[in-house]
Structure 1
Amino acid sequence: MISRGARQAGFAYQAVYRYMINLINEVGTQNRVKLPSLRQLSQRLNVSISTIQYAYSLLEKEGRVYSVAKSGYYAWPLAENPEALPSGDLLEGLYLAARRPGMVVLSGDEPALPASLDSTLLRLERELLRQYPHPSQPWSQPCGVWELRAALAARYTTSPTQCWHADDVYIGADLRGVLEMLIEVLGLKGASVIVESPCDWLILRLLQDAGVKIIELELTADGGLDLMRLENLLRDEPVQALLLSPLASLPSGVAPPACDPLEVAQLLERYGCWLLENDSRSELNFNPAHVALRDLVNPERLVVFSTFEKILGPEAPHGYVLCRPMSSELQRQFLLRSFRLSSIRQRAIARLYHGGRIDQHLRALRQRLREQAETVGERLDQHLAGLVSYIMPTGGATFWLKSTRTVDMRQVFQHLLARQVVVAPGELFSISGLHRQHLRVSHGFQGLPELDRALAAVGEALRQAQLG
């Protein structure tokens, strides 16, 4: 049980997090181990289920645990030999390697890391706890507290016709839970969904596990959409939805050509297709001046989903949805899922929006990310000239590199693990074998001497893995 003193000294989820770290570190086998359920830990530690959800969400973001639908959470084993991948699962190998001490992890995508608002968020929570010593039960507002829903609605409203209201906003425990619910509400199981490629592996695996028929639409070299192929797919396939990032493709961080949004909106209207917009990184564009696709499409066929984590940090893992139609079904699903979220945490985030602190933070964060991108771009040119090509990112925290020669990228990955460097091979961002000549590296890495060593190792690995 977590003592009263521990809960008073810090927030309960922090104590739960530390408890879980110790529990995971006790896993000494090479087999994956199932962890206690939310309810079991809640009873064991005498804290709420939402507190356990917070801790598990942070652990999952760090690659320490993973969840299996209708089964629970499992700990990734800390293998003695990270180069060995007995299961053949590349993502599992990446997570295992990233956990090992001494690894230079270039595979991440944590844009808020250079300037997290974690400490500010915790300070606001303490202030709110004094104001609301006995907050209302979280399940009294199953779709999220009104203050935060209203703040998000105002954030996304751009005109009298492109407006949102608090009742259009739904807040869940994390992005995974929100996406699982959307798949259910929109009836996507067994349906065809066009997904931009490359695409976030979390989204790809969730869709795949749910039995969604994924049709990958590979982005053009400049980060735009192949509109001719998109129209052919919409015409020839029973496509129910198109899943896109609004302002910058992922993981390349390159803004699409300005002419794309209007043409895409016209195609979606012509074929009656839903738009699922992944908005988790759009506010990280260095020059946020483009028109968002969501402002051009039929609002009755629009769903926007996102998470606070990419702009605020891991202390704000909540996911959220904006959707005008299907409100009764969304409310029903939120009631059934019983997201028991901290009302204090949500009010603290709302205060960041209402007080203008989010905008101030984003200006500083975008500037920091831009500077980091320029610095790492110089290092890439120094160490990988002639070995890779890339487009300078216009947002986010990663570079999308393409080998200039045909290589075995899995061999590159294994070679780097032996030198204590972790990168994300491009095939992780596809389910059909695309991007095998690509890799993603973070420009949010701290420590230039280690970065120089790591990039020199990447260059060596690319040379050794050349085919033909």
Structure 2
Amino acid sequence: MSEPRESDFAYQAVYRYLTQLISEPGNQGAIRLPSLRQLAERLNVSISTIQYAYALLEKEGRVYSVAKSGYFAQPTSSVMPPGRGDDLLETVYVNARCTGMQVLSADEPASIQPLDRPLLMLERELLRQYPRHLQTPAQPCGELELRTLLAARYTSSAAHCWHAEDVYIGADLRGVLEILIAVLELRHATVVIESPCDWMILRLFQSAEVQVIELPLQPDGAFDPQKLQRLLENERVRLILLSSRLNMPHGSCIPPANREAIAHLLLSHGTWLLENDCHGDLLDDAIGEPLRELVDPDRLLVFSMFEKIIGVEAPYGFVLSRQWRADLQRHFLLRSFRLSPIRQKAIARLYASGRVDQHLPMLKHLLRERRTQWIDLIRERLGDILHVIEPEGGATIWLHSARPVVMDAVFQRLLKQHVLIAPGELFSLRGLHAQHMRLSAIGGTEHELLRLVGLLGDALRLAPRTDARKHSACTQ
């Protein structure tokens, strides 16, 4: 310790020592910290100095005391320092994996109540029924049993019907979308995308040099049909990417009349629709038909994933398409996805048994409860500085700052306090949504939510204001 024994700043050195002790590599689970007397002797300072340093850490929520047992802490990895790189998405990804980080940037609805246990039980039963020597070789486009089930699940009429050979299953959604970009020859092509849009999709299109035109959602979840019509008339639009029912991260549902107007425009211009159905089952109240039921099925592709409903044990992505059968089969064969046939059979039987359909209402109820808890608290404590876009489903909340602030300052301040949010700019390629953020509403104790809302409010109130003209251009 370089400070004098009873210096007014001795507690700062003790604070730094404890912070490093908590974050040492290899620490797992709760860390028992040295007692007041042990630390005073080790660092050659008074017990009162040690008490003050512990009190600071306890106030920050990094240390807690247990009667007659002493002080404890959870290990916390250091966050990526600001300035280490200018890629905001990389910063979010890296820090989401830091121990001790309160991750509010994720969209993981199934984590609240996953179906991993029944899925793995089914898999074990199937392994007994299908020993390795009886298992069929892995099929490049996915296990036939699962493809057949998905085709039947998406069939709604004789006109809007699918068959197993129209379904293609990949190791994850990213890999499936990469194949679609290649098969549809989207490099340098013009694609219209709803905005805000999932950052993974945006980055994929950006890396493939797709010319992206963002179509902003209105506050009620509708699109401006006149703006879309002008785009279709004046641009060489290869396809348009829209959500099936639930627009995420916005959390809104396209009003039925607006959905029909969009479908009419796509039909009259012969425009291809790439429908995102990843969150379609998470809409609280499904009103009207999904968009895919209103367009030409021969100019339609639908993609989705299992993970949002089942959980991380079902990471596969899939796409449905009536066209490009030979090209899709060839690309899936070349990609050589190594998918477990037994795991795919287990997913198929999880759906076929009705377990998923029984699970969905319970999952949506839990998600709505958690969102309501968050929203009520935000409106009560931060209603003057933060506006909530009322979500109609899903596991996240889309928020808008009531005054123009530098959202990066909000992000960095919270990051230093081990709280990770998803700034709105992640969901646009052209700087839209700079005054927005997405928060995960998976939940927590009332005390924890109060603490997080308090930190969020402090970060917004202390953030510098941004240019008002820039704010007006980004409040889509």
TM-score range for the pair, normalised by the shorter chain length: 0.7 to 0.9
The 1:437/1:287 distance shift into structure 2, 3 A limit, reads same
Q: In the alignment, what sits opposite 2:93?
A: 95
Structure 2 residue identity aligned to 1:283: D
**Displacement of 1:242 after TM fit?**
0.3
**Alignment match of 1:233 (pick from 231, 234, 242):** 231
Can you list the C-alpha shifts for 1:356-398, whole angstroms capped at 9, x where unaligned? 0110011111111111111111111122111111222111001
Structure 2 residue identity aligned to 1:430: S
Work out whether 1:374 is the aligned partner of 2:379: no
The 1:101/1:26 distance shift into structure 2, 3 A limit, reads closer
CA distance in 1, matches of 2:198, 2:402: 23
Work out whether 1:296 is the aligned partner of 2:265: no
**Displacement of 1:134 after TM fit?**
1.7
**Alignment match of 2:457 (pick from 450, 456, 459):** 459
CA distance in 2, matches of 1:388, 1:108: 20
CA distance in 2, matches of 1:138, 1:358: 26
Work out whether 1:274 is the aligned partner of 2:272: yes
Can you list the C-alpha shifts for 1:316-372, whole angstroms capped at 9, x where unaligned? 000001111111111111111111210000000000111001100111111111111
CA distance in 2, matches of 1:162, 1:193: 24
Can you list the C-alpha shifts for 1:433-465, whole angstroms capped at 9, x where unaligned? 000000000111333322211111111111111
Conserved 8 A contact 1:304-1:321? yes
The 1:265/1:345 distance shift into structure 2, 3 A limit, reads same
Name the SS of the counterpart of 2:193 in structure 1: strand
Q: In the alignment, what sits opposite 1:218?
A: 216
CA distance in 2, matches of 1:198, 1:94: 17
Instruction: After TM superposition, list the pairs within 5 Å mapping 1:31-180 onto structure 2.
Output: 80-134=78-132, 140-180=138-178
Can you list the C-alpha shifts for 1:33-88, whole angstroms capped at 9, x where unaligned? xxxxxxxxxxxxxxxxxxxxxxxxxxxxxxxxxxxxxxxxxxxxx98443423211
**Displacement of 1:26 after TM fit?**
12
The 1:235/1:136 distance shift into structure 2, 3 A limit, reads farther
Structure 2 residue identity aligned to 1:348: A
**Alignment match of 1:362 (pick from 352, 360, 363):** 360
**Displacement of 1:299 after TM fit?**
0.9
Q: In the alignment, what sits opposite 1:56?
A: none
CA distance in 2, matches of 1:301, 1:26: 56
CA distance in 1, matches of 2:315, 2:88: 25
Structure 1 residue identity aligned to 2:374: V
CA distance in 1, matches of 2:396, 2:282: 11
Conserved 8 A contact 1:145-1:347? yes
Structure with bigger gyration radius: 2
CA distance in 1, matches of 2:134, 2:150: 21
The 1:428/1:138 distance shift into structure 2, 3 A limit, reads farther
Q: In the alignment, what sits opposite 1:424?
A: 422
Work out whether 1:352 is the aligned partner of 2:350: yes
CA distance in 2, matches of 1:406, 1:87: 25
Conserved 8 A contact 1:147-1:350? yes
CA distance in 2, matches of 1:312, 1:140: 22
Conserved 8 A contact 2:389-2:400? no
Q: In the alignment, what sits opposite 1:20?
A: none
Q: In the alignment, what sits opposite 1:330?
A: 328
**Displacement of 1:203 after TM fit?**
0.3
CA distance in 2, matches of 1:182, 1:238: 19
Name the SS of the counterpart of 1:162 in structure 2: coil
Conserved 8 A contact 1:277-1:294? yes
Structure 2 residue identity aligned to 1:181: I
Conserved 8 A contact 1:306-1:319? yes
Q: Which moved more, 1:295-304 or 1:260-269?
A: 260-269
Name the SS of the counterpart of 2:108 in structure 1: coil
Structure 2 residue identity aligned to 1:280: C
**Alignment match of 2:202 (pick from 201, 204, 209):** 204
Conserved 8 A contact 1:139-1:339? no
Structure 2 residue identity aligned to 1:290: G
CA distance in 2, matches of 1:313, 1:261: 30
Work out whether 1:194 is the aligned partner of 2:192: yes
The 1:83/1:222 distance shift into structure 2, 3 A limit, reads farther
**Displacement of 1:226 after TM fit?**
1.3
Can you list the C-alpha shifts for 1:1-37, whole angstroms capped at 9, x where unaligned? xxxxxxxxxxxxxxxxxxxxxxxx9999xxxxxxxxx
CA distance in 2, matches of 1:26, 1:164: 55
Conserved 8 A contact 1:402-1:437? yes
The 1:27/1:324 distance shift into structure 2, 3 A limit, reads farther
Q: In the alignment, what sits opposite 1:311?
A: 309
The 1:439/1:136 distance shift into structure 2, 3 A limit, reads farther
**Alignment match of 1:261 (pick from 251, 259, 262):** 259
Name the SS of the counterpart of 1:339 in structure 2: coil
**Displacement of 1:160 after TM fit?**
1.9
CA distance in 2, matches of 1:270, 1:435: 31
CA distance in 2, matches of 1:140, 1:202: 28
Name the SS of the counterpart of 1:347 in structure 2: helix
CA distance in 1, matches of 2:385, 2:228: 32
The 1:218/1:167 distance shift into structure 2, 3 A limit, reads same
Conserved 8 A contact 2:144-2:164? yes
**Alignment match of 1:181 (pick from 179, 182, 194):** 179
**Structure 2 segments unaligned to the other structure (5+ residues):** 1-22, 27-75, 467-476
CA distance in 2, matches of 1:181, 1:195: 18
Please tell me the root mean square deviation across aligned C-alpha atoms, in Å.
1.9
Structure 1 residue identity aligned to 2:220: D
TM-score (norm 1): 0.81
Name the SS of the counterpart of 1:406 in structure 2: coil
Conserved 8 A contact 2:79-2:418? no
